[in-house]
Amino acid sequence: MTLEPFDAGPTAQPVASCVARVNGVALHAEAQTLSAQELRQRACSELLRQAAIQAGLLDAKDAAPEDGVLSEAASQAIDAWLGRELELPEPSEQACRRHHAAHAARYCTGQRARLRHVLFGVTPGVDVVALRQRAEACLLDVRCHDGTAQGGAGDRFERAARDLSNCPSGADGGALGWLTPADCAPEFAREIFGHVEVGVLPRLVHSRFGLHVVEVLAREGGEPQPFESVRGAVAVALRQQAYVTALRQCLQVLAGRARLEGVDLDAAQTPLVR
C-alpha cells in the first residue's frame, strides 16, 4: 500500500486546541464533548475517508461528516478502498485444519451462547441511514481490536457498549449472559444459533429492536462437528482474524502519516502492510 501525505483541502479548519482534528479536519463541534471511544471511531473513519479521496474513489468535495455520520458516497468509497488495499490471503486447508483441531469446542452445534452486544435502537423518527453508519463505525472499531482482554482496561467492546448502546445491558458492558434460542427474538436467534462463530461477528445483526454489534464469548451444548462439516465456518474465522490484523495495521499506517490533534491513536511510522 502506497500512501502520500494527506492534503485535507478546503475542508481543513484553523487549529484550535479544544477541537480534535485529523489533518486539520474537525471531528466535532467546538462546544461538543465526546467520549474517547467515539472520538477514536470518528478519527478512524476520517482517516479512511481521506484515504478514499486521495485514491480518487471519493470526490474531494465530499463534506466532512457532521456528528460523525459519513455520507453514503463516503461509506461506499471506504468499502471500495478497503477491498482494494487490504490483502487477505485465502486460508489454506492445513491452516484451517490446525485451527479446527486447536478450537474444536468452538465448532459444536451449540444451543446455548454467552453474548454481549451494542444495540443501536430503531425508534420512531430515527434516521436509519445515519444509525446504520454509526453501527458500522462501531463494528469497524471493535473488530479492529478483537481479542482485547475481556473486562480489562483495554476492553474496547465493553467501553463501546457503555458509551453507545441503547440497551440497559450497556451499563454492564453489553453483557447478555447465557442465552438459548428461546430467549431471543427469532430473527436474532437465527443469526446467533444458525452459525458456529465465536468472537465479534463480522456483520451487523438485525432484529426488531434495531442493529446489534454482537460478540459471542462462548458456546455450549450440542455435538462436536467434524472438520469437513464446518470447514466453511473455520475459513470464515481465519479470514476474520486476517481482516482484523490487516485493518489494524492499515489504520496504524494512516495514523502514522497523518497530523492528529486531540485524539490518541496507535500510529506506525513505517508501513506494516503493502
Task: Identify whether 140 is part of a domain.
Answer: yes
Query: Rg (Cα) of the chain, in Å, rounded?
Result: 19
Same domain, 138 and 74: no
Task: Identify whether 130 is part of a domain.
Answer: yes
> How far, in Å, CA of 135 to CA of 15, rounded?
29
pLDDT at 266: 63
pLDDT at 107: 73
Name the H helices within the chain: 36-54, 72-85, 93-102, 128-144, 156-164, 186-193, 227-257
Task: Identify whether 186 is part of a domain.
Answer: yes
Q: How far is residue 113 CA from its own chain's centroid?
A: 21
pLDDT at 274: 35
Assess contact for 15 and 30: CB atoms under 8 A: no
Domain ranges, residue 74: 9-88+240-261
Task: Identify whether 46 is part of a domain.
Answer: yes
Same domain, 205 and 118: yes
Same domain, 16 and 84: yes
Same domain, 36 and 120: no
Same domain, 127 and 209: yes
Residue with cell 465526546: 34
Q: pLDDT of 174-200, one tens digit each?
A: 999 999 888 888 889 888 887 778 889
List the CATH number of the domain containing 170.
3.10.50.40
Task: Identify whether 171 is part of a domain.
Answer: yes
Same domain, 77 and 27: yes
Task: Identify whether 64 is part of a domain.
Answer: yes
> How far, in Å, CA of 112 to CA of 182, rounded?
10
Low-confidence ranges of the chain (pLDDT < 50): 1-17, 148-149, 152-153, 269-274
Task: Identify whether 72 is part of a domain.
Answer: yes
DSSP state string for 198-264: -EE-SSPEEETTEEEEEEEEEEE-S-B--HHHHHHHHHHHHHHHHHHHHHHHHHHHHHHHS-EES--
DSSP reduced 3-state for 72:
helix
Same domain, 162 and 202: yes
Number of domain units in the chain = 2
